[in-house]
Amino acid sequence: MKNLYLVLPIVGRATIVFLCFAFLSHEWRTLFQHGSVHIPAAAVATLVAASLVWLPNQNVRGWTWIAFIVLANGMMLVALTFTAWSIAAIAAIAAASFKLWRLHQRRTPARMIVDGTRVIIPLEMKITPQCVPVVAHEKRASEARSTQAAPAKEVPPARELPVMPAPAPQPAPMQKPRAEPAQQVTTPTWDFSENVRKPRHNFSALVGMQDTKSRLFRTAQEILEGTSKKRKNGILLYGEAGNGKTLLAEGLAGQLNVPFLSISYGDTASKWVNETPAKVKAVFIEARRIGSCLLFIDEIDSFIKPRDGNVHSMDRDLTNVMLTEIVGLRGSKVILVAATNFLDHLDGSGTREGRFDYKIEIPAPDLAARISLLWRSITEELGDGFAQREPVSALARRWEGFSAARLTALGGQLREMHRDAKFTGPVTFEIGMKAMRLLQGRKGHLPEGVKDICEIIMPDTSCGALRNLAYRMRETENLEKLGSTLPRGVLFVGRPGTGKSHAAMALAKSSNFAFLNITGADIISDPRSWDRLYREACDIRPCVIFIDEVDGILQDRRYTSHGMLTEKILVTLDGAASGMPDVIFIGATNYGERIDPAALRSGRFEEKILFDVPTNEAMAAYVRAILAGKLNGAWKVEPGAVVQMIRLLAGRTIADADALVRKAITLAALRRMRERTADFRVADVVQGAQAIFA
């Protein structure tokens, strides 16, 4: 690439010279044949070509001569026209000649050439005797006398002095030989002293998490005091993001009263090859220089990547350097603490004993920590009068498993709601739940236009059970105070098209729960989709997980080939009951008898709601209501059309009713566009029924 940058300008100037000479040769032929020349064109072309060749290299004789030849050729052509332009052309030739003469008179200063241990001195740099003599060794004096042509005329040997060469005349400041910088390259150093600070807090500022703090403190003391028989070091903190790993590491440094040296990948990253590993070494050197300190490496999965065949060589080198430096800390007073959100993303050699001897999981905040975080967040953002003990405790119980970062952010969301006049008094349980829903920013897969529970057509007994379930979901906190709880799972059983999916969505909408849905076929095709769905539900809870066609995945294990997936879902149901509140599972099936008996026991799908075709009166009311909404008074309904539709839908499902209404209105709309009539006829209903129920 470097040679290309050198060649391109030369090729460009050569092309300019060629084009200029081609043009001037044509003008010379024109001058000799017709006695006329395009004077402005010739002058401009000559000056432009000569300037482009000469200006970039004014002190280079070769290019100056080429530019002079181009200029002389063109200006001579103009001068031979014997016009007013001739004087200017002659002046240009004279000026160029003078410039060329000046350049020829100027000599390049003599320079000594250094080639390794040899020094080549040009002939122009004469060696002249120095006026100050220096006494020489006797042996060198005798050698000097033997080389003299007339020894009789020489000064007596005792007083014979050698002639020392005078230093060469100093030309313009001479550049150092090119080989010298390569021999004197100094390794750059990096200063990480700015990353060292005094800890801003200790464990007393962190409420809750007592077991985790005690284990951290005992481990760090063991490293500092060297009480174990085998010197150990390296504490690896892992867990979900936002649970306070960095906060605990700094609190540990404050509890031990040692300096806190914290780095992340951004502190050491570099675009230059091998500079990142060198910076990592500098960090460990700084830690050893300090002595007793806590070295915290955040996101260590960026430093210790798996060294498999897909890793880049630079990442492999960084991993090797990091592992070597970690081992080098053993036996020192430096407490190494690292944090990661992805324990399985680390190289296997990095997590073994001998590098990180202590692995401590940082779970989500416990109840005491959640209460403290919520109380502090609300009072700091809104003031002391907005936090009350009972609502804060209730919210903390509901939000088990939420990260410390999310709980801390609740105060900011409440402040925005208070600014927008969403509430004025103290924070209640309902206001806190609304703020958390806004903070989560999503409600799952709940579509627009979901029906309300009152619009679901189903038998009266089942409708009452569905409405009671929705009320329990809205009043969960009050019911739990009275000893009641939500069911772990609810099974919707009924014929196809009886509204089971609509009922699940209406349930989530009326209770302000998020809604996530999946089918049994989805889980079978991708078993990991269940884990992802459950993690998302825990993140945006309160949430309804709706499993459509649940008999496909929870079929009796005696007659299925995916029994392990069935067991996995059953275990999740049990775990959700004891671990994550406000996550309710709703399954829908057309064949309740196919469900595995283990899924129907208490603690899983313990409640069942039956869906069946509506009664004739309910169907008639539903048909009249839906037609009134869709026809909207813009149609002339033929007498008997509505009655005929109700008669045809007797004993059928709500899905059949929706399909027949759509088909009949479509037929009427097509006729209206073609014949310009606005009639809704009995024939439309009959033809629609034939198309759907045939």
- Residue 133 has what pLDDT? 44
- Residue 141 has what pLDDT? 47
Check whether 118 has a pLDDT greater than 70: no
Q: Which of 71-80, 92-101, 210-219 has the highest mean pLDDT?
A: 210-219
* Residues 5, 7, 11, 17, Cα dihedral to 10°: 100
Q: Give the tens place of pLDDT for each residue, 402-436.
A: 888 899 999 999 999 999 999 988 999 999 999 99
Average pLDDT over residues 301-329: 85
Beta bridge partners of 680: 637
Q: Give the tens place of pLDDT for each residue, 244-291.
A: 899 999 999 999 999 999 999 988 888 887 888 899 999 999 999 998
- Residue 115 has what pLDDT? 52
45-49, 306-310, 406-410, 563-567: the lowest-pLDDT one: 45-49
- Who contacts 307 (Cβ-Cβ below 8 Å, separation ≥6)? 316, 319, 347, 349
Check whether 183 has a pLDDT greater than 70: no
- What's domain 367-440's architecture? Orthogonal Bundle (1.10)
> Per the structure block, which two tokens stand in for 544?
């309804």
Check whether 57 has a pLDDT greater than 80: no
Query: Directed axis angle between helix 2-34 and helix 39-54, to 10°?
Result: 160
Distance CA 319, CA 308 (A): 12
- Residue 354 has what pLDDT? 78
Average pLDDT over residues 131-156: 45
Banded model confidence at residue 209, pLDDT cuts 50, 70, 90:
confident
Mean per-residue pLDDT over the chain, rounded: 81
Banded model confidence at residue 101, pLDDT cuts 50, 70, 90:
low
- Residue 61 has what pLDDT? 64
Banded model confidence at residue 130, pLDDT cuts 50, 70, 90:
very low
Check whether 155 has a pLDDT greater than 50: no
Check whether 362 has a pLDDT greater than 70: yes
Beta bridge partners of 544: 515, 584
Q: Are strands 514-519 and 543-548 parallel, antiparallel or unpaired?
A: parallel
End-to-end Cα separation, the chain, in angstroms:
76
- Residue 660 has what pLDDT? 94
Average pLDDT over residues 529-543: 90
| pTM of structure | 0.63
- Residue 116 has what pLDDT? 52
> Measuring CA to CA, which residue among 655, 521, 537 is closest to residue 586?
537
Radius of gyration (C-alpha) of the chain in whole angstroms: 46
- Residue 442 has what pLDDT? 77
Average pLDDT over residues 570-584: 75
Which sign does the torsion angle of CA 481, 470, 592, 548 carry?
negative
SS3 content of the chain, % helix, strand, coil (to 5): 55, 10, 35
Looking at per-residue pLDDT, the higher value among 692 and 168 belongs to 692
- Who contacts 228 (Cβ-Cβ below 8 Å, separation ≥6)? 222
Check whether 602 has a pLDDT greater than 80: yes
Question: At 584, is the secondary structure helix, strand, or coil?
Answer: strand
48-52, 64-68, 231-235, 590-594: the lowest-pLDDT one: 48-52
- Residue 135 has what pLDDT? 41
Distance CA 304, CA 323 (A): 8
- Who contacts 303 (Cβ-Cβ below 8 Å, separation ≥6)? 265, 280, 297, 318, 319, 322
Check whether 374 has a pLDDT greater than 90: yes
- Residue 171 has what pLDDT? 53
Q: Give the tens place of pLDDT for each residue, 473-528.
A: 998 888 888 888 888 899 999 999 888 999 999 999 999 899 999 998 899 999 89
Looking at per-residue pLDDT, the higher value among 389 and 190 belongs to 389
Check whether 541 has a pLDDT greater than 60: yes
Distance CA 654, CA 41 (A): 90
Compute how many other C-beta atoms are within 10 angstroms of the C-beta atom of residue 548.
Answer: 19
- Residue 103 has what pLDDT? 65
Compute how many other C-beta atoms are within 10 angstroms of the C-beta atom of residue 12.
Answer: 13
Beta bridge partners of 491: 587, 608
DSSP conformation letters of 546-582: EEETGGGTSB-GGG-S-HHHHHHHHHHHHHHHHS-TT
CATH 2.60.40 fits 616-693, yes or no: no
Check whether 150 has a pLDDT greater than 50: no
Determine what percent of the chain is predicted with pLDDT higher than 90.
35
- Who contacts 508 (Cβ-Cβ below 8 Å, separation ≥6)? 444, 446, 514, 515, 544, 546
Q: Check if the beta carbon of residue 646 is closer than 8 Å to that of residue 620.
A: yes
Query: Directed axis angle between helix 210-225 and helix 245-256, to 10°?
Result: 50
- Residue 34 has what pLDDT? 55
> Measuring CA to CA, which residue among 295, 306, 299 is closest to residue 332?
295
Average pLDDT over residues 592-603: 90
Q: Check if the beta carbon of residue 281 is closer than 8 Å to that of residue 289.
A: no
The H or E element containing residue 669 is helix 654-675
- Residue 694 has what pLDDT? 72
Check whether 340 has a pLDDT greater than 90: yes
Which sign does the torsion angle of CA 673, 678, 683, 687 carry?
positive
167-181, 375-389, 586-600, 660-674: the lowest-pLDDT one: 167-181
Distance CA 303, CA 314 (A): 11
- Residue 90 has what pLDDT? 78
* Residues 134, 138, 143, 147, Cα dihedral to 10°: 60
> Measuring CA to CA, which residue among 578, 530, 538 is closest to residue 554?
530
Which sign does the torsion angle of CA 641, 642, 643, 646 carry?
positive
Banded model confidence at residue 676, pLDDT cuts 50, 70, 90:
confident
Banded model confidence at residue 666, pLDDT cuts 50, 70, 90:
very high
Banded model confidence at residue 457, pLDDT cuts 50, 70, 90:
confident
- Residue 49 has what pLDDT? 66
Looking at per-residue pLDDT, the higher value among 243 and 164 belongs to 243
Check whether 313 has a pLDDT greater than 90: no
- What's domain 193-361's architecture? 3-Layer(aba) Sandwich (3.40)
- Who contacts 524 (Cβ-Cβ below 8 Å, separation ≥6)? 552, 553, 562, 565
Distance CA 256, CA 198 (A): 11
25-29, 279-283, 449-453: the lowest-pLDDT one: 25-29
- Cα 590 to chain centroid, rounded: 44
Average pLDDT over residues 559-577: 82
- Cα 575 to chain centroid, rounded: 32
> Per the structure block, which two tokens stand in for 163?
């002639």
Q: CATH code for 453-611?
A: 3.40.50.300
Distance CA 289, CA 293 (A): 10
Average pLDDT over residues 117-142: 48
> Per the structure block, which two tokens stand in for 316?
């492999």
Compute how many other C-beta atoms are within 10 angstroms of the C-beta atom of residue 313.
Answer: 8
